[in-house]
Amino acid sequence: MKAKQNFNPDQKVINHLLDLNKKRELLVLEKELIFHLKEFQDSPFLHNLLGVTLSKQGRIEESLGHFNQAIKGAKKKSVYLINLAISLSKMDRVDEAINAFTRSIDLDGSNFKAHFLLGNAFRKAHRIDEAVISYDNAVKINPSHADALIGKSLSLKNLGKFEQSLEICKKAIDIRPDFGFAHRHITAMLTYEDAKDPHIAEMESIYNHNSLQLEDRIQLAFGLGKCFEDVKNYKKAFFYLNEGNKLHRKTIEYTTEGRKERVSDIKVNFTKDFFNSSQELSKQGKKIIFVLGMPRSGTSLVEQILASHSRVYGAGEKGFLAKTTFKALFPIEEVSFPRNLSLHDQKSFDNLGRDYVRMIENLGKDEGRLVVDKMPYNFEHIGVIHKALPEAKIILCERDPLDNCFSIFKAKFGAKNEYAYNLEEIGEYYNLYLDLIAHWESVLPNKLHRVKYEELISNQEIISREMINVCDLDWEEDCMSFHSTKRTVITASAAQVRQPLYASSVGLWKKYETELEPLIKILKKEN
């Protein structure tokens, strides 16, 4: 029988498929969609739903073809363009995602979801002013869209507009009183002085509701932990922080053994012999400064100081290096980094370096400006940096291990940082980090410029001058008033780097010494 063109199955079949999607019976749904596409091969509905199904399974790249096929055959393309854009954004193809969202809005400007998601994409691309406009457009269409208000609030915080950010955040809570993220967002921008603060009481009351959604409970726990630390009730602060971490840890998969294997693979492949080959290195990377280290080790602060210099542009956490590395050297998913390193000669690294420079060179704006790539986890890629961008500067941020690890425990990160929600796992991860840094120092001596957070706090000018000198720059006094620098900051430390240096976080772990005993034992085990 000749296949029917541009046609959908009957409504009964459609309802059945939608029901499978609602129940998240994804494998069954995928199988049935493929079956029906044999007959209705050009059906926009089937292609779109298959794209959604594949995306939900994490098969993002496979979903793109089906979304494009749906768009090709559909009369009303706007919704399908949104789904395409979502997948593109998940793949960090943000510019393409922005284009697809924009096309959807051009076709149907009344869809508040499209405006909201476009705002998210702009924010991901660090185009914050445009993000604010998109969130505003979403709220104009749907004034009760609390997520859009939070998106705007976060964007204003990124721009250093804290009072406006707080005002918008409170509007989101007026709409959704149990919005855990919004409450935590407020706690991050305020310093609480009284345990009887009405906002603390409000959060505790909401936290104790049995019907509270899990994510809201997690967010509130982290927020309450911060509040009680502010008012120096450390027992209660740890109680809530521990609860938030325990609840979140149950939602993720992580093993220390997997991390050990990865560190071992890096050490086995990036050896002295590997670096001592006769192959001549290129001269790439002269305008790049990498700032790396453990999260919460002072990387945002160091970037902010550097970016206060007139000849430096702070690019923030772009993740360009990892993306370029995996695209150039490890394109086959079955072969994980860095197990096929031996397959690549210096030319491969030179090409990688050129690709990276092309991705980042436009960020410096004015000709001659150095670009700071601040991505903490680039400490895994120091060997790649040396081979591909040998002229780049590398600044390693360090902090007291217990302060660093406990600060990680107090933070509610995004999708990554799977190790960060259990004290023992944080300790094991930190020990492996130290092991890897020792390896880099062994095979690439004098490659890293170390900046200790505590020394920077106590000797700001001396340490700052050393950093500027390492980057081959002349000293500028603006680097001392980094907190006044007008730039977008998209990290968990966005509020802190807008303030003058303070020492209150140095040695803070001692307030929790008893509670941190499991972490202390792990750190002492290897050190």
Crossing angle of the two packed helices 198-207 and 214-230, in degrees rounded to 10 = 150
Longest dimension (CA), the chain: 81
CA distance 104 to 125: 19
Considering the domain boundaries, does residue 153 fall inside one? no
pLDDT at 339: 72
Considering the domain boundaries, does residue 210 fall inside one? no
pLDDT reading at 497 higher than 80:
no
What is the tens place of the pLDDT at every residue in 173-202?
A: 999 999 999 999 999 999 999 999 999 999
What's the token pair of residue 504? Answer: 């209150």
CB count within 10 Å of CB 129 equals 10
Considering the domain boundaries, does residue 409 fall inside one? yes
| Average pLDDT, rounded, for the chain | 90
Residue with token string 């290096």: 321
**SS3 for 59?**
coil
Q: Which residues of 330-367 are buried (b: 16+ CB within 10 A; e: fewer)?
A: beeeeeebbeebeebeeeebbbbbbbbbeebeebbeee
pLDDT reading at 363 higher than 50:
yes
- Give the H or E element holding residue 291: strand 288-293
Q: Quote the percentage of the chain above a pLDDT of 90.
A: 74
What is the tens place of the pLDDT at every residue in 232-274?
A: 999 999 999 999 999 999 999 999 999 999 999 999 999 999 8
Considering the domain boundaries, does residue 247 fall inside one? no
Range in 119-133, 200-214, 403-417, 482-496 with the lowest mean pLDDT: 482-496
- ∠ CA 139-142-143, nearest 5°, is 65
Q: Full-prediction pTM beyond 0.85?
A: yes
Count of structural domains, the chain: 1
Considering the domain boundaries, does residue 19 fall inside one? no
pLDDT at 334: 47
Considering the domain boundaries, does residue 399 fall inside one? yes
Sign of CA dihedral 454, 460, 466, 472: positive
**What integer is the mean pLDDT of 91-107?**
93
HSE-up of residue 8 (Cα within 13 Å, Cβ side): 16
pLDDT at 360: 80
What is the tens place of the pLDDT at every residue in 117-164?
A: 999 999 988 899 999 999 999 999 999 999 999 999 999 998 989 999
Find the domain containing 300 and state its range: 280-526
CATH number, domain of 469, equals 3.40.50.300
Whether the ω angle into residue 500 lies within 30 degrees of 0, i.e. cis, is no
Considering the domain boundaries, does residue 369 fall inside one? yes
Considering the domain boundaries, does residue 318 fall inside one? yes
Sign of CA dihedral 109, 110, 111, 112: positive
